[in-house]
Structure 1
Amino acid sequence: MVKFVDRVVLHLAAGNGAHGVASIHREKFKPLGGPDGGNGGRGGDVVLAVDTNVHTLLDFHHHPHQKAGNGGQAAGGHRNGAHGSDLRLRVPDGTVVLDERGEVLVDLTGPGAEFVAARGGQGGLGNAALASTKRNAPGFALLGEPGEARDLVLELKSVADVGLVGFPSAGKSSLVAALSAARPKIADYPFTTLVPNLGVVSAGNTTFTVADVPGLIPGAADGKGLGLDFLRHVERCAVLLHVLDCATLEPGRDPLSDLDALESELARYEGTFGELLEKPRLVALNKIDVPEAQELADLVRPELEARGLRVFEISAVSHAGLRPLTFALAEAVEADRTARAVPESPRIVLRPRAVDDVGFTVRPDPDDPGGFVVRGEKPERWIRQTAFDNDEAVGYLADRLARLGVEKELAKQGAERGASVTIGDVSFDFQPTGGVDVDDWAPGRRGTDERLDTSSRPRADERLAAKKSRHTGQWTDEDL
């Protein structure tokens, strides 16, 4: 038996970026081959794509964990790693993607709609890409970034033109079977319809779809019965048709009270696509093939029309009154399509970067008095790319942070030497350079950085004096 699943939780993981390689070209008679380490491959993305041949989220119900391919490893000789393969997950038309907090990220409707649910990590640069005039042969490479991992909720909201609204056993499934070629399960007990059924209806030159969804009862907006499953699938409908049972034998029920209860639940439901009561609504008084039901329909019809509703007396069994109802629904659907077809002028939203936006923030650490926390896309990414077991890589990170202005902003915030600074998941002691230009750095043995050796680090004024002496042509001990 095929199971219909319209809500799943996905645990997604994009591919990890591969590390760059630190390599030096070695060849006979070429002693100064230079760096030739390649870049690591980028990790694959996880992409959700609408496929019209998919009608349920059942596959994700059985396989909620999905992971894209990792980037390929680089090598020497300028050989870059291959990019990881993207993972494309096919979802039905009408899938809504929500994050862990329940906020809507995207509404996937229409063939070809796509959404990058998790982005792959960037591959690390090799030492060939890091070489510069100051750093001719870097003894380090950048690490690849881990792929994005996140939990998302997928909800399928049926894409139908007309949604049937009614109590259980009001005859909605019978009406869909009478209007279309659909053959939903029909029985005389509550909640016969457990999953949405779609039927295609033709009226003249208009073809539209009708959704038969689980029945509605009082308290549905609070999750009672199958109410939330019902309301989720009528959100997208252009027209709502109230199917009222005129032959019910339940005490305390009649078409008017049923309509009041139904509209009360529609009003209370907080949907994603606007208020449900703002949609065009029609009323079908069903089961008039029963004599007592016909009498009741004649009695309540004036009251319903006084509320501004178009009323149709029908019988899903004998097909009485179905033709005028079908053309009325087609008219309402066409009106909605015409309204939606009005072309909108393209609107481009420009969000320029603020003048004072430096790309990072420095705030006092609430968990460490005297410490500071640095937040920002670039600093946090640079932390992830750094191999902290390589002194030269750490020195390169310090240069990047200093050029970005992190050190200056920490000093402005009152950070003192030795204060704890946290960037991402790494904490270190603040050691300012004292105004020394980070470009004025002479590389030593590969993989080392003398600036990290505090015992032999020259004072700022001595380094500035040495720099000045080189410009004046005077030699110092440091030059030798």
Structure 2
Amino acid sequence: MSIFVDEVTVEVTGGRGGNGKVAFRREAHVEFGGPSGGNGGHGGNVYFIGDEGKNTLIDLKYNRHIRAKDGTHGQIKGMHGANAPHTYIRVPLGTIVYDDKNQLIGEILYHGEALLIAKGGKGGRGNISFASNKNQAPDFAEQGDLGQKFVAKVELQVLADVGLLGYPSVGKSTLISVISNAKAKIAAYHFTTLSPQLGMVRVQDDEFVVADLPGLIEFAHLGVGLGIQFLKHVERCRVLLHILSMESDNPFDDYQKINKELELYDEALKDRKQIVVANKMDVEGAKEKVDALRKELKDVKIFEISALSKEGLEELKHEIVNVLKEIPKLKPKESTRVYTFSEEKDSPFIIKKADDGVFELSGEKLFQLFNRIDVNNESAIKRFSRQLRELGIDDALKEAGIQNGEIVRIFSYEFEYLE
């Protein structure tokens, strides 16, 4: 028996780009050997890919650290390093991914659909890329950029055309087992269904997916019973099949309470299309109860069925098909995530004075530049210093009140400020 997991957090890391190479041509009969260090390859991306054969996030629960491979380093003779292969993680349809700032990255609605989760870093440039008329023999190269790294929140909202709605033991599991290919557990006690069951229903040339969702009870919107775990899966169903048991003392009261729970959880759900079904019409007194229900729900068409004896099922299935033809397919949620630096272009760095009196420089753009340098290469350090001046850091430090001889810290690197 598989465990149903519909929410998990995972750390995702794009691969780091390979380092550029510092090399020079050393060939016979070549009097002036120029730079020949190649560029590093790009790091791999992390993708989630939709798999209609999966219905739980259990794989991610036991794979909390997902890391793409790094690009290979540049080589001599101008040979570039190979790009790393991308990493693909298969997830169920209906998977929604948020980043560590709770911004939506995207969701997966279709089989084979790939969603970019974390980008790999660009490969560093080798010294052959820095050759110019002014510097014909550069003796430095760039290191590869780091890949994106963050803790992602992954949620699953079961994707189904039709969701079965109703109190526990109204016959949802029996119904899905007789109209679809789902093999649901059936018993006469609360919460038989502890995880959603999906089944495919075929009606002549049409088909739809139906979900038997965990039983709903009063105060579910507050987390009572299976509460929120149930309700969040209702959001993605295009049609709700509201099943009422004629064994209940008051089916109309059940109908009102279930709809109230939906509205309290998400007001938009009160407008979701519902098909009302009176189940267990084979029990004693069912006819009187359904007649009383029709008096209360004057403008609602009620379908009478017995899932156990399979009566009334064909008419119900045709009604579902007709209703689904009038309801548009789900649109994906709109992502707010943009794969660029969050710093503004006119403010690529931040200056603050730390508790130890050191002037600290930070910022995503600055972090990227810093990670590209080899701090053990004097030429690379000089180039980095020029980049800092071009960013306006010298002027900004003066405005911040720095004095000659004070220390500046850029991440793990410290230097003395000299005018």
User: Does structure 2 conserve the Cα–Cα contact (< 8 Å) formed by 1:370 and 1:415?
Assistant: no
CA distance in structure 1 between the partners assigned to 2:223 and 2:157 by the alignment: 16
**Cα pair distance change 1:172/1:362, threshold 3 Å:** same
Out of 314, 317, 334, the residue aligned to residue 308 of structure 2 is 317
What is the CA distance between 1:156 and its match in structure 2? 2.3
Compared with structure 1, are the counterparts of its residues 326 and 366 closer, same or farther at alpha carbon in structure 2 (3 Å cutoff)?
farther
Q: For residue 335 of structure 2, what is the aligned residue in structure 1?
A: none
SS of 1:282 mapped into structure 2: strand
Corresponding residue SS for 2:387: helix
Give the AA of the match of 2:316.
Answer: L
1:83 aligned to 2:88? no
Do the aligned residues in 1 keep the contact of 2:21 with 2:75 (CA within 8 Å)?
Answer: yes
Distance in 1 (CA, whole Å) between partners of 2:93 and 2:326 is 23
- The reply to whether residue 247 of structure 1 matches residue 247 of structure 2 is yes
Tell me: CA distance 1:75–1:200, structure 2 relative to 1, closer, same or farther (3 Å).
closer
Asked if residue 269 in structure 1 is aligned to residue 269 in structure 2, the reply is no
Displacement after TM superposition at 1:163 (Å): 0.7
| Alpha-carbon shift at residue 423 of structure 1 (Å) | 4.3
1:108-134 CA-to-partner distances (Å, cap 9, x unmatched) read 112342222112122222222122233
Match of 2:395 in 1: 408
Q: Which residue identity does 1:296 align to in structure 2? A: K
One of 252, 256, 270 as aligned partner of 1:256: 252
Aligned counterpart, 1:156: 156
Contact in 2 for aligned 1:375/1:423 (Cα 8 Å): no
**8 Å contact from structure 1 (residues 247, 290) kept in 2:** yes
Cα displacement (A) at 1:140: 2.1
Deviations 1:347-373 (Å, cap 9, x if unpaired)?
xxxxxx9xx943524444475668354
**Counterpart residue identity of residue 120, structure 1:** G
Bigger shift: residues 412-421 or 292-301: 412-421
Bigger radius of gyration among the two:
1
Considering only aligned residues, what root-mean-square deviation do their CA atoms show, in Å? 2.8
State which drifts further: 167-176 or 280-289.
280-289
Q: CA deviation at 1:75?
A: 2.4
- One-letter identity of the residue aligned with 1:303: E
Q: Partner of 1:221: helix, strand, or coil?
A: helix
Structure 2, unaligned stretches of length 5 or more? Answer: 332-340
Which residue pairs with 1:334 in the alignment? 325
Aligned to 1:291: 284
Q: Calculate percent identity across the aligned residue pairs.
A: 36
Alignment of 1:79-478 (within 5 A): 79-203=79-203, 206-248=206-248, 254-270=250-266, 275-305=268-298, 308-337=299-328, 357-358=345-346, 360-365=348-353, 367=355, 371=359, 373-377=361-365, 379-412=366-399, 414-424=401-411, 426-432=413-419
Change (3 A) 1:376 1:407: farther
> Residues 191-222 of structure 1, C-alpha deviation per residue, up to 9 Å, x if partnerless?
11122222233446543221111111223223
1:173 deviation in Å? 0.9
Q: Which has the higher contact order (CA 8 A, sep 6+)?
A: 2
Contact 1:245/1:254 (8 A) holds in 2: no
Q: Using the TM superposition, give the Cα deviation of residue 263 of structure 1 relative to its aligned residue in structure 2, in angstroms.
A: 1.7
Give TM-score scaled by structure 2 length.
Answer: 0.87
Provide the residue aligned with 2:334 in structure 1.
none
User: How far off its partner does 1:181 sit?
Assistant: 3.6
Which contiguous aligned blocks of 4+ residues in structure 1 show a shift greater than 6 angstroms? Answer: none
Say which SS state the counterpart of residue 117 (structure 1) adopts: strand
Q: TM-score, structure 1 length as denominator?
A: 0.77
51 and 199 in structure 1: CA distance in 2 versus 1, 3 angstrom threshold: closer
* One-letter code aligned to 1:388: V
